[in-house]
Structure 1
Amino acid sequence: MMSRGSEWHRWEPHIHGPGTVLNNQFGGGDPWNSYLTALESCSPVIEALAVTDYYTTDTYEEVVRRKAADRLPNVKLLLPNVELRLDIAAKKGFVNVHLLVNPTDLAHVEEIKRFLSRLQFNAFDDRFDCTKADLIRLGKASDSAIKDDRSALIEGATQFKVNFDSLRKAFKESAWANKNILIAIAGGEGDGTSGVRQAADKTIRQELEKFAHVIFASSPAQREFWLGKRTVTLEQMHDRYGGCKPCLHGSDAHDLSSIGKPEDDRFSWIKGALTFDSLKQACIDPDGRAYVGREPPTGAMPSQVISHVRIDDAAWAATKVVLLNPGLVAIIGARGSGKTALADVIAAGCDAIPEAAWAADDDVSPSFLVRARPLVGEATVKLGWGGGDESGCYLDGRDADDVRAFPRARYLSQQFVEELCSSKGASEGLVREIERVIFEAHAALGQDGAYSFEELRDQRTTRFRQARRLEAEAIVATSDRIADELEKEAIVSSLTTQVAAKEKLLAGYALDLSKLVLKGAEAQVQRYTDLTEAAQALSTRVNALANQRRTFVAMQDEVQSTRTSKAPEMLRQVIARHPNSGLNQTQWGDFLLVYQGDVDKALADYVGWADKEIAKLNGVAPPEGDPTVPLILADADLKTIQLAVLKAEMARLEKRISADTVVRNQYTTLSKKIATEKAALQALKTRLDDAKGAAERRKIFQQEREAAYGRLFDAVVKEQNALTELYAPLMERLGAMEGTLKKLSFKVSRIADVAQWASVGENDLIDCRKAGDFYGRGSLENTVRAELLSAWETGTAADVQTAMSGFITAHYKALRDQAPLAPAAQEAFRQWSKRFAHWLFSTDHIAVRYEILYDGIDIRKLSPGTRGIVLLLLYLALDDADDRPLIIDQPEENLDPKSVFDELVSLFISAKSKRQVIMVTHNANLVINTDADQIIVANANPSGSGGLPSFTYTAGGLEDAEIRKIVCDILEGGEKAFRERARRLRVRLDR
């Protein structure tokens, strides 16, 4: 036995035929050929036909005879539909009820007639049974003018009304009827329960519908109502009506033109074999097995469905071809029967066994094909796909490293789940799988053209991480400037002292110089002093110009370096940071940083200008002349005299001030020393003025640093928000889930590693042995936790900026006081100060982290079993984007039976409506309560030669009694699962 199990077939549950007792419009003569041809020509093809007549089976019996004569070749199931009229009034006449009879029993015609004979109608002081003879007798009693039996039968059927209580009592008392008859009742207004409208008839209407197994109705609204999806809940449906009901609809044809043509093409579809048992299964599971519509419900796309498996050149595969259902396929069997072997073979044909699994040790691998590799020989598998495609491979793994291979199915083997959910490491593989599901939970338009979660995450957060990096660099640079300003502040006092000392020294030199001057030379000394000051001022200007010139030359070097090295490298970095720009090399060229003006010419001009200015200020020394003749007029403005002339005049005066050669030399030397010290004094005053302005500049820089710190955290917060938005689609879906999936959540948070940050400070930057606020290890960490941690982890950028400003105000001096060296060690202290500032404003210890939580616990910290549950639930419930077949080996592992029922059953039912699911299982609930579409039963016969066992496979659907028996025999708890299913669905049919 090998079938695809439960598949959709068109049923015609309500159709009359030529000679129907009432309202026969098929014409005179012999309309049977036209009637059968019309049935044979119906599209979609009718494969199950319930031939209807009033109170009799005559039309059904005639159709059976004609089918035996090779008519209706596509009809695989013929069954009687006996239509009765109850004594309950409807809007247009009386409520009709239908008896759908199981044709499997060879004596079913005699048995239904025997059952009908138990129904009576009392009239004319007589009792009439529901038999053909009594109907004729009733017709003649009703109208004495009727003489022929046919006319009397029609009249009798018109008058005969079945008492509802009598019908219900007869049905209850007949074991055969309970087993072989399904009650269908019309749900429409004309002759159905919807026509029973009087308030006083509310109870009788409910009793009628409760008695029925099937509702003849076609509208989507009625179907949803009888599935418990409208105003009446499932619980109320069970209490009021005994459970949900399948809705079916036939053409109710009474003439040739309407045969198989229900209104609006509302055809009836039943999923299952073409047997009466399938109709029973539709009553058990009306949502999954009965449908009214133009087409049956669609499941997986045909191109993503494996239609059959063929195993060649494998003596161990006794069953060469295995057909597969497009829905839920359950592979069952005893231990060692070949269940996992078949799953492995199918997965191999889909290229779904990873190369790493093939590389595992043959002796310890849980994979059948890997363990059996030395024995499979040249065996191959070929899969047929619903779209007409084929795929296949050798079964020894030789094709596993084919770079062209693409997994056409997702295989959750035991090995895969164990490796993904093992207790080793942080289970990053599991996290990546969950992230893949998250990524695919985004609509295509929300994926921004990304091909993976990592790419999408980078697209959403790169901007903010780059902003964070740039602000961090700005903070480092600003901190260095602040350190320089602090160093200048620290030397204000020292510079002030040095200036005073230098001025005192110059005063002494001036006194010494005056003693070297001869009497009568005072005027010349004053002149010399004036010249010295003028020369000093001019020398300062020359030096400044020289410094400018050196700067211009250095800028020329920098321009060259920027143009040839820095700018191209910066552009390369920009291109690397924005790989999705789509710009070509020419377009990127527009982003090369270039100088706005002609800087080469400008700098050359500046150097030339400096040279000219220096030359103009220096001038040319005049030729040596009469030492008694001044080189500069007495009333000349010394500020306009060139430096060379000033120096020449100074040299002339030095000779005139003292005639004594020794004294003159002393005077010259002292004069030069005074000039040098004055220059030094000027430099000291310049430094002092700069140092006095350091405090104000430092405050400005500190404000800039705090602002940059705030902007940095603004980038951190935006990155956090971007990640939160990334998870939003999945969180929205999880919020609507039930059970275990409800426990799954995602948390995006800032994590501040205070211990690490404080450790750097205590180990490298402050001396915890010094007395102070941060004496002893741990004191810094405690303070930071109290004052900064909350802002770092949960505050806004403004909150962080405020908290850090407050921390610095309160503790900056104390921290610097505990520096591990003295401020007197200026160079060392300067370097420490910079490192200290870098650390204080660093954010390396702050990370935006997303956690996948299960019941509030990071999934990385769960047990392997619980991780496996979460992974399986994600695949079943959320992996919508993947429409490939899902192959699962023993999904019930790590789950207790109750959890299997509570968690997995509904998810498998949902999953099979969207993709083909193939599972190996030992769990009866996963077979029975999911209403598996196909059961594949594996069996193995040992090999006497030490080779592989011989595997055979049979298959069918749950509507097959033999399959149900095998399920109960093989699966522990099978009978219990059937009882549980009946209890849950509150059905009263034998299984």
Structure 2
Amino acid sequence: MSFVGARWWKFDFHTHTPASFDYGKSDSSLKASKTAKAWLLDYIAKGIECVAVTDHNSGDWIDRLKDAAVNLRAEGYSIFVFPGVEITANSNIHVLGIFDPRATSADISAVIGASKFRGTKGDSDSVAEESAENVIKEIISAGGVAIPAHIDMKAGLCQQYSSHTIGQVCRHASAVEIIFPDQERTDAPLSRYTNLNIDLPSIIGSDAHHPNDIGRAYTWVKMSTPSIEGLKLALVDGSSSIIRSDNETTDPNRSSNTLLRSVTVENAKYAGRSAPLTVEFNPWLNSIIGGRGSGKSSILEFIRLGMDRARDFDLLDRDNEIRRSFESFAKISASRDSEGVMLENTRINCVYTRDGIHYLLTWTKENNRVSISRYDGQQWIPEEGEAHTRFPIKIFSQKQIFDLAKNPNTLLRLIDESSTVGFQQWKMEWSEKHSHFQTLCSRKRELQSKLANKNVLLGQISDVEQKIKAIERSGHTDILKNYQIYSGKRTNVSQYEAGIEDVKHQIESISNAIPIPAIDTSAFDTQSASETEVLARLNALNGSALFFKETIKQAVASLENELTQFKGWYSESDFNKSHIEVIKKYEELIDGLRSEGINSPSDYAKLIEERDVISKSLKAMELVSSQISEIDSSINSAYQAIIECRKKLTISRLEFLQQNLAGNSSIKVELEPFSDIGHIEESFRGVIGRSDNAFSADIFDLDRECGFLYNLNKELSAITRSGDSNNLEPWLSKIHEFKGQVFNFRSGEIQGTKIGKRFSEFMANLQPPSFDQINTWFPQDKLSIKFNDGNRFKDVSQGSAGQKASAILSFLLSYGTEPLVLDQPEDDLDNGLITSLIVSKLHKNKAERQIIVVTHNPNIVVNGDSEYVIALEDRGQINQVASGALQEVSVRKNVCEIMEGGEIALQQRYKRMFNV
């Protein structure tokens, strides 16, 4: 994708071909063998795109070079030939004449003839009869530009000793060629020119007489297309459109890696109805001009919608004039005279380039959202994501600029969008740390809830212990223990006996319930040998099954016999006899305990079991206490991480200001950490969930200058910045101390403010998560802007409307590489401020970022040296009447008509102002 408008062209102003007698120098074969195509390819290899052919007093090679250039351009090369000549004027002063690419060898010969050069073509063996001054006049009269060649060298203008001669020649010249501009000797030939303080642009060419000399010197020239008009305008502009190669080591065509290439509007009320309205943009400075009502500002709003920047207004109050005005613009128009410029099928397409990749952003009124597609070289491929965050662009109307001046702290949002701060990334990090802290606090409360019954359990275990001791004091502990031991073992034996008994019954039941199936012998043919064999096998299998069932029956009987024998043995065993003795002693003990008032001796076992259960619960609580100690440590670490994260935001903002605004002579922007009095109440009330005006005397009352937040802000604002911008401890320490006092609200005082009973009761009813939120609360930073009124820096609130606007504009133009769109930034500014502020800033910034300005001030367009101008008019629909660089006649005419009232009006004003 190529760009519209002007760009920089690598221009060699001084070259020689084999038409010059000294071409090739000592290489005589080169002069005879070099073709026009090969000659041009030598320049193309060095990146030269525009070459002025300036042979000594000859234009013989012009036509063949022009034909070769046409063919090379058809092959895809960028090369343009400017016909020219190096005329040896009277007194042996060399003068370059450069003409439009349409000029021919015959045109050059005519200029040589008019200069009365009668020597050998291609040679400097004689001088013209006309003086350098008259030669220059002849060149200009023929439509070219005249440049005294290598004025500081041999055969240059400065070889003349007369300052009058040099002055007369330069007054008519278009520029001068200086080879060594840094000559500092007062007796150097160049001083004869510099002492005259003549304001002519300085250019340089290679003066190549051999291919090896190509590219050693050249000049960057800004034009839209190579033409004599473009070259003349660039020379008039001087340093803004002419750069010598010894002053520029990089490509001036470099631009920001984020560019808005075009906006296309389809089917809007006043645009794109009969055919889509497409406005293209240049990578540098674009000016949109037109009479009032021509649709200039509408283009800005179309861009805002197409680039998904409408959501910028979501931060404004619903009754904000700027927001209401935009929402009115974005409405569907119900009738010709109703508000709104949208229709049901309105579509806006923006083509945006980022890092060399092209994206198509499409907004439709039907969906009211922006979709994204990426160009893969052949087609647009849909992509996911939000255009608002993926494709940076800043758009400001004059009303927005004035609104920013009223509340400078809103500029923090712009600072936060910078790569230095990276607020979105920071916000993700903050949310993660904030969520982690909240989770830890919630987990701690959950664990603490498990300890809620600890005191109850301690009481219970104390009571149980007392009862156990009362039983054990009876002296019969061993009997009870033996009874419990033998009872447990006897229960085990009984359970096993019952288990074996159950197994026997189950096997016996299954065996009896499942009969052996009979064989249907009638199904087989006993005359068949094979079937007889099958029947025999089945009978054998049947016999085995009957034997298996009988075996099970015998085994069950055997098991029953064994069980009977075991029972008989057990009843006579020593173990059973010992158990009977223990039971006897236990029963005697029962009678004794009952006589002592203990209802049931079995309580001992239950008490032991109850004590074990309670002890187990208390052991678990000890583990919970340990976990709480660990989580306390984690909470402290998480809180420190939150503090560091919050510090990072303020430090990044301070770094941004240092990087972009340190030493700015127009404005001074300062950041006071955590000291924004305008939002401190709102943010704190949001944390405690009380957004009304309740408890104002306790919390914050600006009119009466009271409340603990008022006192906090006062103390934070009084802290003096140290030399180390990273040291925020004084502020953070004060905020931490404040939070401690909030948590200790029952003391009746916070930050020197006696709090009322109602507020204390409110705080007492706050849920624990609200206190977690207070822990992570920090006041916002405060941004202050001061402007230079010529004598000193004053707060922007003290300035006039123009001074406020200039301060904000100076800020907006001081940083960033993303596209910047401004609507009539000159409103509220006088012409002096427009020139000194906007125009100078535009010159400085457009090399680093794309700027699109909607304006009706000619100083911005002309003196700002717009690379591309779009002139609009309203013929029922927004229409482009002209577009292009300033060198183009139609563009200059529209600039003059729209912004100056026409050529006659401009001339009359000029006469009245400067010819009195």
TM-score, normalization by structure 1: 0.50
Instruction: Determine which of 411, 419, 441 is the counterpart of 1:430.
Output: 411
Is the CA contact (8 Å cut-off) linking 1:11 and 1:48 kept in structure 2?
yes
Is the CA contact (8 Å cut-off) linking 2:871 and 2:883 kept in structure 1?
yes
Q: Which runs of 5+ in 1 are unaligned?
A: 89-93, 120-128, 136-151, 226-231, 460-555, 583-718, 757-762, 765-777, 797-830, 943-948, 987-991
Structure 1 residue 10, shift from structure 2 partner: 3.2
Residue deviations 1:145-165, cap 9 Å, x none? Answer: xxxxxxx6567x4132667xx
What is the aligned partner in structure 1 of residue 885 from structure 2? 957
Distance (Å, rounded) in 2 between the aligned partners of 1:561 and 1:43: 79
The correspondence of residues 782-797 of structure 1 with structure 2, limited to 5 A, is none
Is the CA contact (8 Å cut-off) linking 2:90 and 2:129 kept in structure 1?
yes
Distance (Å, rounded) in 2 between the aligned partners of 1:832 and 1:268: 71
Residue deviations 1:521-576, cap 9 Å, x none? Answer: xxxxxxxxxxxxxxxxxxxxxxxxxxxxxxxxxxx999999646566346324313
What is the aligned partner in structure 2 of residue 968 from structure 1? 896
1:398 aligned partner, one-letter code: N
Residue deviations 1:124-144, cap 9 Å, x none? Answer: xxxxx32xxx32xxxxxxxxx
Residue deviations 1:264-307, cap 9 Å, x none? Answer: 47575544321112211221233332334476314323x41233
The correspondence of residues 690-701 of structure 1 with structure 2, limited to 5 A, is none
Structure 1 residue 57, shift from structure 2 partner: 3.0
Instruction: Determine which of 120, 125, 136 is the counterpart of 1:158.
Output: 125
Cα pair distance change 1:559/1:239, threshold 3 Å: farther
Distance (Å, rounded) in 2 between the aligned partners of 1:795 and 1:14: 59
Q: Does 1:575 align with 2:638?
A: yes
Structure 1 residue 965, shift from structure 2 partner: 1.1
Distance (Å, rounded) in 1 between the aligned partners of 2:890 and 2:345: 35
Local SS of the residue matching 1:297: coil
Local SS of the residue matching 2:852: strand
The correspondence of residues 96-115 of structure 1 with structure 2, limited to 5 A, is 96-102=94-100
The correspondence of residues 554-569 of structure 1 with structure 2, limited to 5 A, is 563=626, 565=628, 568-569=631-632
Residue deviations 1:679-732, cap 9 Å, x none? Answer: xxxxxxxxxxxxxxxxxxxxxxxxxxxxxxxxxxxxxxxx9x997996476357
Distance (Å, rounded) in 2 between the aligned partners of 1:364 and 1:848: 29
Structure 1 residue 168, shift from structure 2 partner: 1.6
Is the CA contact (8 Å cut-off) linking 2:221 and 2:234 kept in structure 1?
no
Residue deviations 1:432-475, cap 9 Å, x none? Answer: 43x438x7568x9xx9x97379979x99xxxxxxxxxxxxxxxx
Distance (Å, rounded) in 2 between the aligned partners of 1:833 and 1:9: 76
What is the aligned partner in structure 1 of residue 367 from structure 2? 398
The correspondence of residues 159-558 of structure 1 with structure 2, limited to 5 A, is 159-160=126-127, 166-169=131-134, 171=136, 177=141, 180-186=144-150, 189=153, 191-192=155-156, 196=159, 212-216=173-177, 240-250=196-206, 252-254=207-209, 257-258=211-212, 262-264=214-216, 268-293=220-245, 296-301=251-256, 303-311=257-265, 315-316=272-273, 318=275, 320-354=277-311, 356=313, 364-365=325-326, 368-370=329-331, 372=340, 374-375=342-343, 377-383=345-351, 385=353, 387-396=356-365, 398-400=367-369, 404-407=386-389, 408-414=391-397, 417=400, 420-421=403-404, 426=407, 428-433=409-414, 435-436=415-416, 451=426
Q: Does 1:911 align with 2:845?
A: yes
Cα pair distance change 1:107/1:973, threshold 3 Å: farther
Is the CA contact (8 Å cut-off) linking 1:749 and 1:850 kept in structure 2?
yes
1:365 aligned partner, one-letter code: F
Is the CA contact (8 Å cut-off) linking 2:151 and 2:176 kept in structure 1?
yes
What is the aligned partner in structure 1 of residue 51 from structure 2? 49
Distance (Å, rounded) in 2 between the aligned partners of 1:369 and 1:353: 9
Instruction: Determine which of 805, 809, 812 is the counterpart of 1:875.
Output: 812
Distance (Å, rounded) in 2 between the aligned partners of 1:308 and 1:849: 38
Greater shift after overlay, 865-874 or 27-36?
27-36
Report the aligned-residue RMSD.
5.9
Is the CA contact (8 Å cut-off) linking 1:81 and 1:100 kept in structure 2?
yes
Q: Does 1:852 align with 2:784?
A: yes
Local SS of the residue matching 2:45: coil
Distance (Å, rounded) in 2 between the aligned partners of 1:979 and 1:57: 39
Distance (Å, rounded) in 1 between the aligned partners of 2:804 and 2:779: 25
Structure 1 residue 35, shift from structure 2 partner: 2.4
Count of residues paired in the alignment: 613
What is the aligned partner in structure 1 of residue 11 from structure 2? 11
Structure 1 residue 868, shift from structure 2 partner: 4.1
Cα pair distance change 1:215/1:933, threshold 3 Å: same
Distance (Å, rounded) in 1 between the aligned partners of 2:804 and 2:663: 21
Structure 1 residue 959, shift from structure 2 partner: 1.3
Instruction: Determine which of 890, 895, 905 is the counterpart of 2:824.
Output: 890
Cα pair distance change 1:108/1:975, threshold 3 Å: farther
2:395 aligned partner, one-letter code: L
The correspondence of residues 719-738 of structure 1 with structure 2, limited to 5 A, is 727=654, 730=657, 734=661, 736-738=663-665
Q: Does 1:82 align with 2:82?
A: no
Cα pair distance change 1:16/1:860, threshold 3 Å: same
Cα pair distance change 1:281/1:208, threshold 3 Å: same
Local SS of the residue matching 1:853: strand
1:35 aligned partner, one-letter code: A
What is the aligned partner in structure 2 of residue 589 from structure 1? none
Is the CA contact (8 Å cut-off) linking 1:245 and 1:283 kept in structure 2?
yes
What is the aligned partner in structure 2 of residue 635 from structure 1? none
The correspondence of residues 592-741 of structure 1 with structure 2, limited to 5 A, is 727=654, 730=657, 734=661, 736-738=663-665, 740-741=666-667
What is the aligned partner in structure 1 of residue 380 from structure 2? none
Local SS of the residue matching 1:429: helix
Local SS of the residue matching 1:158: coil
1:436 aligned partner, one-letter code: D
TM-score, normalization by structure 2: 0.54
Cα pair distance change 1:567/1:382, threshold 3 Å: closer
What is the aligned partner in structure 1 of residue 612 from structure 2? none
Residue deviations 1:924-950, cap 9 Å, x none? Answer: 1110011000011223321xxxxxx25
What is the aligned partner in structure 2 of residue 929 from structure 1? 863
Same amino acid, percent of matched pairs: 18
Is the CA contact (8 Å cut-off) linking 1:310 and 1:320 kept in structure 2?
yes
Residue deviations 1:77-100, cap 9 Å, x none? Answer: 543322133566xxxxx6532122
Is the CA contact (8 Å cut-off) linking 1:337 and 1:939 kept in structure 2?
yes
Is the CA contact (8 Å cut-off) linking 1:13 and 1:248 kept in structure 2?
yes
Local SS of the residue matching 2:303: helix
1:961 aligned partner, one-letter code: V
1:572 aligned partner, one-letter code: I
What is the aligned partner in structure 1 of residue 61 from structure 2? 59
Is the CA contact (8 Å cut-off) linking 2:669 and 2:783 kept in structure 1?
no
The correspondence of residues 133-152 of structure 1 with structure 2, limited to 5 A, is 134-135=118-119
Is the CA contact (8 Å cut-off) linking 2:93 and 2:157 kept in structure 1?
yes
1:737 aligned partner, one-letter code: N
Local SS of the residue matching 2:360: strand
Distance (Å, rounded) in 2 between the aligned partners of 1:791 and 1:36: 73
Residue deviations 1:887-916, cap 9 Å, x none? Answer: 222222222222111110011111110011
Residue deviations 1:221-279, cap 9 Å, x none? Answer: 65x99xxxxxx99xx999834225142323x3445x45xx6244757554432111221
Distance (Å, rounded) in 2 between the aligned partners of 1:866 and 1:454: 38
